[in-house]
Structure 1
């Protein structure tokens, strides 16, 4: 991810993001883009997974039923 992508996204949040607000749109943008890049580059690893923490290799696997709990 490039800083330009995150900066651009932080400067132009989606309407629903603006409505909710953020303490730091830059950090929020970086996290959203990082997760998006992982889903795009590793769809098989993220199809049934939820990323936790800063390490993209650290993946928690759970079912949809478990996620709803």
Structure 2
């Protein structure tokens, strides 16, 4: 039996984590969510951005450049 813990992939990111990853403000993340440019989900009262959605968003930015 292995004693090392298996790495669990991060599936959902807090808006603060998205802001840090994109080097933008947290308010800009919420602005992108409200504008429909960045999809998110709500779990209870918490807003989360799926990691796959963030990757798609960055791809769209690259394609538009």
Task: Indicate the TM-score class for this superposition, using the shorter chain for normalisation.
Answer: under 0.3
- The TM-score normalised by the length of structure 2 is 0.27
From the two aligned structures, give the one with the greater strand fraction. Answer: 2
More helix by share: 1
